[in-house]
Structure 1
Amino acid sequence: MKPLRPLVLTTLALALAGCGLSTRELPAQETATAQQPDRVQTIRIGADAARSTYEATPGVTVLAWQPDAGFAILERSGASAGAPALSALGLGSSEPSASRYTLPETQASGLRAGSRGLWSGGNGGWTKGPGALRASPRNGRGWEQIDLADARLLASRLGKGVKVAVIDTGVDLKHPALEGHLSPASEWKDYVDGDAVPQEMDSSAGAYGHGTGVAGIILQVAPEATILPIRVLRPDGSGDLSALVQAIGWAIDRGADVINLSLGSDTTSAALSNMLGLATTRGVFTVASSGNTGGQNVTYPAADTALKAAGTYLISVGSVDGSDSLSSFSNYGKALDLLAPGENVVTAAPDSQIAAWSGTSFAAPQVTGALALALGQGFSPAQLQKKLLEGADNVEKATARNASFKSLLGQGRLNLGTFLGKLK
């Protein structure tokens, strides 16, 4: 097992949706000194910009270099002896590169005792078929809500040929539920340990199994899709902005069709917005969870209204229970697009087991799977964007509560059958 890096306490940015978040005041101007924390800076560049100029500057790491899109993203070490030279390079405003968040969603019922080996027998879990996996019947009510049965008839390719990037805590690379459904190992990436083995780590930590669970839900909806595993979050659910920026670029460059971000922050980021905008220009969907603090404050990047207004492929997802009532933990608001069942969702867990999780992190991959089903049928990204939202069901419980509350719940709850039917 790989050794874990010590957590960096002077960091800012990404963790799983639903964390209790904390912020600190930042100075309006940053002066490069040995006391400053690492910073991420977004700069505008032309097609003739020289990457080598920045790479040769001590303390500067190029996180993204996109001359065709007109920008680059750099990370500057606050302890860099060459930091004073940065002003001569014309760097713009900066943001902290990472921060430590509190724990994200907690596992609802833990790893189920005696579930080891369940995959081979199919006793309530998945049954291995000819390249496909059967959705767990333990999620029966949720599958009824999103009309998974009709979706399987309308999307017979089951997401075949679609690559989904799961940017998360990593996955259990040897889990039977994921076997045969991962991208080639040459495409895997771990930005926490700096290697190519994005394996779930440290079973004692609160976020252990999160990424495996997310991947398992996507494959229950679109069992022929391919999962591209990218690890950016530590076992406790905390992560760095610099890692996420690189991960999105990595996913785009390796042909991801959909990116699942079951994570979030209460702080906006110019660097991340630029990377999500790049994904849009490449026709790549991003699905992001809304957060789990239970308030009218959709977390970022799900709440990036500027990107949404520009007509991007960013979709924010909240959670409902089995009766289509908004989950008590789910964030909501004007920036919310869709809802999906997110309570006690049974899915894969490390060490060949299954587990039930609750949280918006587990509603989001159902929408990711919906997009994979449609893309697998040969529809273009441009065809899907409006149809996905138009196909949602009204949330009747919200109507009973009051009309203004309903306006904060996006277009309603995901309905796969209606969505795919609109594409015919």
Structure 2
Amino acid sequence: MKKASHPISYMALAVLAMAMTACGGTPAVTPSPEASQPTTQTLKLVTVRIGAGVTEGALKASVPGSEVLVFDHATSRAVLSVPETRGTLQAASLNSLSLGALDAGVLAVEPNVVVSAPDDVQAMGMTTWAGGATTWAGGMTTWAGGALTWAGGASFLDASTMADVQAYWNRLELSRAHTLMPEKGTGIKVAVIDTGVDLAHPLLQNSLDTTLDWDFVGNDDSPAEETALDSGKYGHGTATVGIILQMAPNTKIQMYRALKPDGSGSMDKVVAAVNKAVANGARVINMSLGTTSDSSALNTAIAAALAKGIVVVNSVGNAGTEGLLYPSRKLDSASFAATSGLIGVGSVTKDLKRSSFSQYALNMSLTAPGEQVLTTYPGSKLMRATGTSFAAPAVTGAVALAMSAGVTNVSTLSTGLRTSVTPNQDVTFNSKLGTGTLNVGSFADLYR
């Protein structure tokens, strides 16, 4: 993986690769994963149409041993994870298990694919702060909102780094947005589905909602990053959270750990995390993750979130090729219209040209700066993060900012994001980089 270069001396700590990601309509569909996609050995994900009279308990009882991952009458869909204990699991065999007696029917049966990041050596440069403070010992007043000072008033960043951070904020016109929307995300819950978070990081204190988070990997209520300094994605979730809070410092972050330190996770855990975020009142969901395989189960979970007015922001992938990773791949399709509230975000350089690693396509929503973004890292440290994983959370934070100012319609937010952009400057790729680069100030101008 490439390491960040900077005039200040940095100590290499870890290298990340790009972020992972990831309504059924045709009965008895069995999606086929691409050959490169591994699967778990024991579960199938089953998407089911449910009638108004079907209850969650009755559905679960109809398929012994199953777990209900999503149950949503608004979209008439549910998702089950089903142990494959009777040989090949198919729609016909499920319908024979008394699903037919309910007002329910199988729409799709799919493997429980492993969601993981591609091995792109340019995906992410990860370094730790060595030229300044590595711990704040309670002396920090705030991380985001423009103040990067000790309680006594002295900046803990040297002048060069501070100038770089200000240049990033200026590119996004963040100061103007905060002036227009002084709520700065107050009252908005943002769900982050990722590798976990450093629960003790001094710059994240008072920003984490530890009553509503969950670790789907360890199956407990402490979604902390696992200490594995040499594994590829360690710190990925902590970095994502730090960027969101720069945009909307008063939001509360719900952390849902669905990915291991190496960046891999199973689709059932991602689906369950989306469903948990919806149930716990999240208004925005950040998924800096992806996969090459479409999933009826995740489509169902995302559709249920959108139907409840939740915006879902997704990174588009770091392979540097045309075509987006799923779920962004489904944008502007029969599954998710461009204004549905699903947002696919790519990365650009400081001069608004496509980052060499960023994937691109005609159906991308927009871009954001995604190279060498200063953010938080486990162990009370800072890092410079590069990848579409770190472009997406800037958009997530912008949405939370607008929501705190009373803008709640997902179509309005989707349209506003795409019409308030700064034009990109990439002659070769402009038509496939969405409408332009995030401009938080112009976005705020639409509503204040």
- The bucket for the TM-score relative to the shorter chain is 0.7 to 0.9
Find out whether 1:71 has 2:71 as its counterpart.
Answer: no
Find out whether 1:346 has 2:374 as its counterpart.
Answer: yes
Find out whether 1:302 has 2:315 as its counterpart.
Answer: no
Q: In the aligned structure 1, how far is the partner of 2:445 from the partner of 2:382? A: 32
Provide Cα deviations, 1:393-416, integer angstroms capped at 9, x if missing partner.
1112x23x4xxx321110101111
Instruction: Quote how far apart the aligned CAs of 1:102 are.
Output: 5.0
Q: Which residue of 2 aligns with 1:192?
A: 217
Instruction: Quote how far apart the aligned CAs of 1:220 are.
Output: 0.9
**Match for 2:365: what amino acid?**
D
Give the alignment partner of residue 51 of structure 1, picking from 52, 56, 59: 56
Q: In the aligned structure 1, how far is the partner of 2:397 from the partner of 2:119? A: 22
Find out whether 1:117 has 2:135 as its counterpart.
Answer: yes
* Pair 100,42 (structure 1): closer, same or farther in 2 beyond 3 Å: closer
Alpha carbons 1:172, 1:350 under 8 Å: kept: yes
Q: In the aligned structure 1, how far is the partner of 2:266 from the partner of 2:312? A: 18
Alpha carbons 2:195, 2:236 under 8 Å: kept: yes
Provide Cα deviations, 1:143-174, integer angstroms capped at 9, x if missing partner.
12111121111111111111100111111111
**Match for 1:387: what amino acid?**
G
Secondary structure of residue in 1 paired with 2:125 = strand
Q: In the aligned structure 2, how far is the partner of 1:123 from the partner of 1:329? A: 36
Q: Which residue of 1 aligns with 2:436?
A: 412
Instruction: Quote how far apart the aligned CAs of 1:80 are.
Output: 5.3
**Match for 2:345: what amino acid?**
V
Q: In the aligned structure 2, how far is the partner of 1:165 from the partner of 1:360? A: 18
Q: In the aligned structure 2, how far is the partner of 1:253 from the partner of 1:244? A: 14
Matches within 5 A, 1:179-328: 179-183=205-209, 185-203=210-228, 204-305=230-331, 306=333, 307-309=335-337, 311-328=339-356
Alpha carbons 2:74, 2:307 under 8 Å: kept: no
**Match for 1:412: what amino acid?**
G
Q: In the aligned structure 2, how far is the partner of 1:327 from the partner of 1:124? A: 30
Alpha carbons 1:120, 1:127 under 8 Å: kept: no
Provide Cα deviations, 1:75-120, integer angstroms capped at 9, x if missing partner.
1112358979634135343111122635667651422236421475
Find out whether 1:385 has 2:399 as its counterpart.
Answer: no
Find out whether 1:86 has 2:103 as its counterpart.
Answer: no
Q: In the aligned structure 2, how far is the partner of 1:188 from the partner of 1:83? A: 33
Return 5+ residue gaps in structure 2 as ranges.
1-17, 23-32, 100-104
Q: Which residue of 1 aligns with 2:385?
A: 357
Secondary structure of residue in 2 paired with 1:72 = strand
Secondary structure of residue in 2 paired with 1:23 = coil
Q: Which residue of 2 aligns with 1:421?
A: 445
Find out whether 1:366 has 2:384 as its counterpart.
Answer: no
**Match for 1:145: what amino acid?**
R
Alpha carbons 1:344, 1:357 under 8 Å: kept: yes
Secondary structure of residue in 2 paired with 1:228 = strand
Secondary structure of residue in 2 paired with 1:386 = helix
Instruction: Quote how far apart the aligned CAs of 1:58 are.
Output: 3.1
Alpha carbons 2:181, 2:405 under 8 Å: kept: yes
Give the alignment partner of residue 190 of structure 2, picking from 146, 149, 164: 164
Q: In the aligned structure 1, how far is the partner of 2:51 from the partner of 2:397? A: 37
Instruction: Quote how far apart the aligned CAs of 1:67 are.
Output: 2.8
Q: Which residue of 2 aligns with 1:9?
A: none
Q: In the aligned structure 1, how far is the partner of 2:343 from the partner of 2:378? A: 28
**Match for 1:188: what amino acid?**
D
Q: Which residue of 2 aligns with 1:395?
A: 424
* Pair 270,310 (structure 1): closer, same or farther in 2 beyond 3 Å: farther
Secondary structure of residue in 2 paired with 1:325 = coil
* Pair 103,235 (structure 1): closer, same or farther in 2 beyond 3 Å: farther
Q: In the aligned structure 1, how far is the partner of 2:421 from the partner of 2:212? A: 34
Q: Which residue of 2 aligns with 1:32?
A: none
Q: In the aligned structure 1, how far is the partner of 2:69 from the partner of 2:279? A: 13
**Match for 1:309: what amino acid?**
A
**Match for 2:287: what amino acid?**
L
Find out whether 1:101 has 2:107 as its counterpart.
Answer: no
Greater Cα offset, 80-89 or 362-371: 80-89
* Pair 46,74 (structure 1): closer, same or farther in 2 beyond 3 Å: same
Secondary structure of residue in 2 paired with 1:97 = strand
Alpha carbons 2:52, 2:73 under 8 Å: kept: yes
Secondary structure of residue in 2 paired with 1:93 = strand
Secondary structure of residue in 2 paired with 1:108 = coil
Alpha carbons 1:18, 1:293 under 8 Å: kept: no
Q: Which residue of 1 aligns with 2:19?
A: 16
**Match for 1:407: what amino acid?**
S
Greater Cα offset, 330-339 or 195-204: 195-204
Say how many residue pairs are matched: 391
Provide Cα deviations, 1:370-396, integer angstroms capped at 9, x if missing partner.
111111112222542212111001112
Provide Cα deviations, 1:44-101, integer angstroms capped at 9, x if missing partner.
0112114334433433221112234211101111235897963413534311112263
Instruction: Quote how far apart the aligned CAs of 1:248 are.
Output: 0.8
**Match for 2:81: what amino acid?**
E
Provide Cα deviations, 1:305-341, integer angstroms capped at 9, x if missing partner.
2244273101110001111111000011012111111
**Match for 1:108: what amino acid?**
G
Alpha carbons 2:208, 2:252 under 8 Å: kept: yes
Return 5+ residue gaps in structure 1 as ranges.
1-14, 27-34
Normalised by the size of structure 2, how large is the TM-score? Answer: 0.80
Secondary structure of residue in 1 paired with 2:328 = coil
